[in-house]
Amino acid sequence: MKRRVVVTGIGWVTPLGRGVEHVWSNLLAGKSGIDTITRFDAAAFPVRIAGEVKDFNAEDWLERTEARRTDRFVQYAVAAAAMAAEDASLSVPVADPYRAGAIVGSGAGGMETIEHGQHQLTEKGPHRVPPMSIPRMMINAAAHHVARRFGFRGPTLGVVQACATGAAAVATAAEQIAFGRCDLALAGGTEASVTPLSVAAFSACGALSRRNEAPQSVCRPFDRDRDGFVMSEGSCVLVLESEEHARARGARIYAEVAGWGLTADVFHVTAPDPEATAAAKAIEFAIESAGETPEAVGYINAHGTSTAMNDPTETKAIHRALGACAQKPFVSSTKSMLGHMMGAAGAAEAAIAALAVHTRRLPPTINLQNPDPECALNHVANASIEAPDLRLALSNSFAFGGHNVVLALRRYAA
């Protein structure tokens, strides 16, 4: 029997800072976390901007030995999970660890570890490759360390769906809870992708904006002057629980994960299907599984990457799925402020959708000065707005490989 799944905690490590209230207030204020790259010397790179996590000390969240043995993507995940658990007022250890899971994914895993290991191999030989390289770089390391931190022994998975990873992790965890396989899960995504190889590779394939002179105005989803996405990093982890579990412990509930839809384009390894057929189906499936209709959708947190192809294709998907109702829901892309957090993006945007229905306030798409006629939607442009009647929100994630994940977040009513 399907059970209701609710969001009771949120943990954020982002270019806009950490913690629910801090990041949410920055998003509503339209602040940008994008700036010039400082983590490495990018002077010779065609792209020299990114959304970096600043002022992060791994030893605030992990013991010194564990911090030395983990890649940044794992450190971000553990920090976000710890903040989410605190936000949810979780008591640890839990009563039954086999009923609690950790489902945390990453698009690329330990890129810093991979790059360092390759350097050691080529410059100093095979005997100088660090012995912890594999445990540091493997994508499921994030889920392992989160589960170990909290003593969770239930479903522990490292989900990989490129830029839809975080959303897929939330959907997977929700399904585990909905069908009774566990009562509680820490779910989300994490990425530490601002590294020389990642920036060079995404730049080489033409995906990134090269407007290095004005970092905070570069990312402009749905604007006719957009020229590529801005790579970012960080983590978002949500505490998901069955409604019964959450209410039994008196938890504060942000929203209900009411539905989800997952589809595949099977079109191209990077480009979205220009007909947006499968993306539209993911939206339809999310609405249907929530037991709702297109008329009920009041807000969409768009994938909105600020690339030439993604934004009009996503617009077409929304119109295909919602039909005559496509101009009704407010739409914004918070990547305009956070940048593209890659494997963490879908979880961060699910959290934003949950907070939107909880607070009935909608963050904007900043830098939307000249809306593209091909992206005709009801945009929340440049300033946040109140949405007093908001009850149902969607969070879209459309990734390389044609992976489409859409989550439906509903205002909670007992």
Above 90 in pLDDT, residue 188? yes
pLDDT at 231: 97
Give yes or no: residues 196 and 109 share one domain: yes
Above 60 in pLDDT, residue 279? yes
Q: Name the pTM for this structure.
A: 0.96
The string of pLDDT tens digits covering residues 235-259 is 999 999 999 999 999 999 999 999 9
Give yes or no: residues 286 and 193 share one domain: no
The CATH number covering residue 30 comes to 3.40.47.10
- Given pLDDT bands bounded at 50, 70 and 90, which one contains residue 291? very high
Give yes or no: residues 264 and 406 share one domain: yes
Instruction: For residue 119, indicate whether it is catalytic.
Output: no
Give yes or no: residues 127 and 227 share one domain: yes
* Burial label, 50 (beta-carbon count in 10 A; 0-12, 13-18, 19+): buried
pLDDT at 1: 56
Average pLDDT, the chain: 97
- Given pLDDT bands bounded at 50, 70 and 90, which one contains residue 372? very high
**How would DSSP label each residue in 287-298?**
HHHTT--GGGEE
Give yes or no: residues 307 and 221 share one domain: no
Instruction: Point out the catalytic residue in the list 340, 358, 379, 403.
Output: 340
Instruction: For residue 163, indicate whether it is catalytic.
Output: yes
Instruction: For residue 303, indicate whether it is catalytic.
Output: yes
Instruction: Point out the catalytic residue in the list 144, 303, 379, 403.
Output: 303
Give yes or no: residues 196 and 218 share one domain: yes
Is residue 253 situated within a structural domain? no
The string of pLDDT tens digits covering residues 81-121 is 999 999 999 999 999 999 999 999 999 999 999 999 999 99
Domain that holds residue 359: 259-410
Bridge-based pairing of strands 234-242 and 5-14 is antiparallel
- Which has the closest alpha carbon to 23: 306, 229, 274, 236? 236
Number of domains in the chain: 2
pLDDT at 414: 85
pLDDT at 138: 97
Which residue stretches of 290-364 are H helix? 310-322, 335-338, 345-359
Is residue 95 situated within a structural domain? yes
Among all chains, which residue has been given the structure tokens 């699910």?
350
Above 80 in pLDDT, residue 183? yes
Instruction: Point out the catalytic residue in the list 163, 182, 219, 236.
Output: 163
- Percentage, residues of the chain above pLDDT 70: 100
Is residue 336 situated within a structural domain? yes
- Which has the closest alpha carbon to 31: 17, 10, 45, 48? 17
- The DSSP secondary-structure symbol of 62 reads S
